[in-house]
Amino acid sequence: MMKPGDLRAMTVDQLDDEAMKLKKEQFNLRFQRATGQLENTARVRQVRRDIARIKTIAALKRAGRPEPAPKAAPAEKPATKPKRAARSKPKSE
C-alpha cells in the first residue's frame, strides 16, 4: 500500500507513471483471477484503492489546491452520561 505522504511528495508526472504501472498490475491480476491462478485476492482491492489514491492526489495537484493538513490527534472525549438499563417488556397474561 502506498502512503499518502509518499504520494504527495511525488510530481504529477511521477504520479501518472505510478498509476500506469498499477493499471498494468490490475490488468494482470484480473487475468490471473479469471484463470484461477490468483493467490493473493486482497491485492486486487489494494491495487484498486492505490489507483484511486494516486488519481485523487494528482487531481489536487493539477487543480493547484492546497493539500489537506495531516490529521491531528483526537481530542479527549467529554464525560458521557452513564447508560440506562434497557427496559424489559411487561409480561402479558
| Euclidean distance between CA atoms 23 and 72, whole angstroms | 33
Sketch out the chain's domains with CATH numbers: 4-63 (1.10.287.310)
CA dihedral angle for residue 42, residue 45, residue 50, residue 52, rounded to 10 degrees:
-170
Q: Which residues contact 60 (CB under 8 A, 6 or more apart)?
A: 67
Q: Is 0.75 topped by the overall pTM? A: no
Q: pLDDT per residue over 27-51, tens digit each?
A: 999 999 999 999 999 999 999 999 9
Q: pLDDT per residue over 59-90, tens digit each?
A: 999 998 766 666 666 667 666 777 777 777 77
